Structure 1
Amino acid sequence: MQTSFGFAVPDVARWAALLAPVLMGVPPLLVRRPVGQLVKSIISGRTQDAVSLAAYDRLVATFGGPGRLAVAEPAAVARVIADVTFADDKAAYVVGAMKALKAGPLGFDLDPLGGWPLDEALAFLETLPGVGRKVAASTLNASTLAMPVMIVDGHVLRVLQRLGTVGPRGDIRDASETVTGAMPDWTGVDFLHFHMATKRLGQTICRPEAPLCDACPLAGICPGALVANRTSH
């Protein structure tokens, strides 16, 4: 069976079972309301988790909530999150997204998105400044909404590319839609745990350069690892 992208439907359930040990000792994520998770996700791209989390906490301490962010000067927001990558751009996105929400049909209360069809909820969020599929999926899945959609960042995308889920040119949207579509019975928590496991794998083992295939729980079924093993002998 092929996906709409031309690749075999992934055996996500098997991968998730094999990756379960990767999450041992990893503390659970703090679950935020959707608007808080939206802001956190906007500032977290290409930034270490500890750095983006500290920056988010400073935003909350400084501005208190989305209403004040909507009327803040982007330069003031950038000063608060100065240690994240592309701080100026992200500050402009945060302010722009909060302004758009304030003027929109839901305001800052994004809870109703939980009752929308998934594709409509994603599309709504993706109209906001700085919001692509990764941020939209994170807002819906990693928040109190816990909607069943796969969050894909750069680490997760690399793992899924090496597993053959998407091709080398496949992007975050392709990977998210493929994994989400492959697991129609999964809950939001199932998707969040799989995201966390694949992200950690990408950070620690399935690295961009010199991946540690011998230490990978998926090495026996990963096309990338099998090719690496053949070429090394």
Structure 2
Amino acid sequence: MVQGLIGSRMQSEQSSAVADGVLARLGSWDALARMPVDRIAHELKGVRFPNQSAKRVHNVLGAIVARKGKVDLTHLERCDTPTAIAWLESLPGVGRKIAAQVVNTSTLDRAALVLDTHHLRILARLGLIGPKDSTAKAYDGIMPLLPPSWDAATIDEHHQLMKALGRAICRPAKPLCPECPALSLCPTGQARTGPEETRT
């Protein structure tokens, strides 16, 4: 969760490294929760927006402590996935992306699709979601389309592949549509390339 809260406009590997470093130095998330915002910002050196991230971390960890007495999410193990996501989204500043990330890539190991900006862009270009759909609306529309056999690891692999596709080929500007492996499925790419390139 902390990695998600501090990862705005950063590679996930970088924000994960910062979060891991904080935990290694402090020994627990409760220690971070007890710090004032300016101290948290100092601990988060290396993130793109340390002051903004510090406020988010302070608010979220504080809310968890207020509800549970400490930074502890183990009660989510007893919840079904929609209930766990709803509880996480009730925390200040936690949206569907972070909630799904916590549920999918933590020890909860649940089937929950993490949708970042790359993934949302690709889905919109494929015509599977609207271009202005929120992350929550996109999630609610796409999750039922995933094969029932996909477990948490498969869904996370799908997310990583979509993110890689968005970075390398289906870019925000000047996408490389002729090189895209999904061109035959993509009306946006077909409109950009024309019928001849789509057939190849």
Kindly indicate whether structure 1 or structure 2 has the higher relative contact order, using CA contacts under 8 Å at least 6 residues apart.
Answer: 1
| Structure 1 residue 160 displacement after superposition | 0.9
Aligned match of 2:58? 95
In 2, the alpha carbon distance for the partners of 1:114 and 1:213 equals 42
Query: Identity of counterpart residues, as a percentage?
Result: 34
| Structure 1 residue 107 displacement after superposition | 4.1
Map Cα deviations across residues 43-98 of structure 1 (whole Å, 9 max, x no partner).
11221233312321221133221110110111112122233222211111112211
In 2, the alpha carbon distance for the partners of 1:83 and 1:107 equals 26
Aligned match of 2:181? 217
**Matching residue within 119, 138, 145 for 1:182:** 145
Aligned match of 1:150? 113
Aligned match of 1:47? 10
Match of 1:58, SS state, is helix
Query: Aligned partner of 2:170: which letter?
Result: C
Aligned match of 1:34? none
Aligned match of 1:23? none
* Residues 59 and 77, structure 1, Cα contact 8 Å, conserved in 2: no
Aligned match of 2:80? 117
In structure 2, relative to structure 1, the CA distance for the partners of 1:67 and 1:54 (3 Å cut) is same
In 1, the alpha carbon distance for the partners of 2:47 and 2:121 equals 22
* Residues 126 and 133, structure 1, Cα contact 8 Å, conserved in 2: yes
**Matching residue within 161, 175, 179 for 1:197:** 161
- Unpaired runs of 5+ residues, structure 1, are 1-37
In 2, the alpha carbon distance for the partners of 1:132 and 1:55 equals 21
* Residues 66 and 108, structure 1, Cα contact 8 Å, conserved in 2: yes
Moved more, 98-107 or 144-153: 98-107
| Structure 1 residue 202 displacement after superposition | 0.8
Map Cα deviations across residues 176-220 of structure 1 (whole Å, 9 max, x no partner).
222212226122122111111111111111110011112211111
* Residues 90 and 130, structure 1, Cα contact 8 Å, conserved in 2: no
- Unpaired runs of 5+ residues, structure 2, are none
Aligned match of 1:73? 36
In structure 2, relative to structure 1, the CA distance for the partners of 1:228 and 1:66 (3 Å cut) is same
CA root-mean-square deviation: 2.0
* Residues 170 and 176, structure 2, Cα contact 8 Å, conserved in 1: yes
**Matching residue within 184, 194, 198 for 1:230:** 194
Query: Aligned partner of 2:93: which letter?
Result: G
* Residues 150 and 177, structure 1, Cα contact 8 Å, conserved in 2: no
| Structure 1 residue 148 displacement after superposition | 0.9
More helix as a share of residues: 2
Aligned match of 1:170? 133
Moved more, 209-218 or 97-106: 97-106
In structure 2, relative to structure 1, the CA distance for the partners of 1:147 and 1:106 (3 Å cut) is farther
